[in-house]
Amino acid sequence: MKPTRVIHPKLDLIAALVEGLARLSQEIARETAKRMRVPRRRGGTLRPGADTPCWNALRAAVIPHLKRRGSRALLAHYLGVAPGRVHEFFTKNSAMPDAERTLVLIQWLASVQAGRRPG
């Protein structure tokens, strides 16, 4: 017994194209889903943003003390980093200091708020 055709023989080419496009669109959807996923690795480096509320609060407390001319350079010297890093920490908000420098920054902020000259 011969298998019966579901579609007209002249439509075979179009059916093959449609089937190929369907497979291609499924593959594109899978690849897009893979690229859209942001893997959250445990213990990975945090970036400043909504996931770092403690850093955001510390940054907000420090920024008012960096208005005077030269204050950023003095803070950079106090922390032992380049002035560009202070810019990344407080202006661009694209980086955060390591744990040791964060503790030193908290000491600096406490002494500035108390009216003492840090250093």
Task: Count CB neighbours of 75 within 10 A.
Answer: 24
Residue 33: inside a domain, yes or no?
A: yes
Number of domains in the chain: 2
Residue 79 near residue 97 (C-beta atoms within 8 A): yes
pLDDT tens per residue, range 17-61: 888 889 999 999 988 887 777 666 676 777 888 888 999 999 999
Q: Do residues 30 and 60 both lie within one domain?
A: no
The single-letter DSSP state of residue 44 is: P
40-55 b/e (C-beta count within 10 Å ≥ 16 → b): eeeeeeeebeeeeeeb
What's the pLDDT score for residue 32?
Answer: 86
pLDDT tens per residue, range 56-94: 999 999 999 999 999 999 999 999 999 999 999 999 999
Residue 66 near residue 75 (C-beta atoms within 8 A): yes
Q: What is the residue range of 16's domain?
A: 9-38
Q: Is the pTM here over 0.75, yes or no?
A: no
pLDDT tens per residue, range 92-119: 999 999 999 999 999 999 999 999 888 6
Q: Do residues 58 and 108 both lie within one domain?
A: yes
Residue 44: inside a domain, yes or no?
A: no
Distance CA 17, CA 95 (A): 50
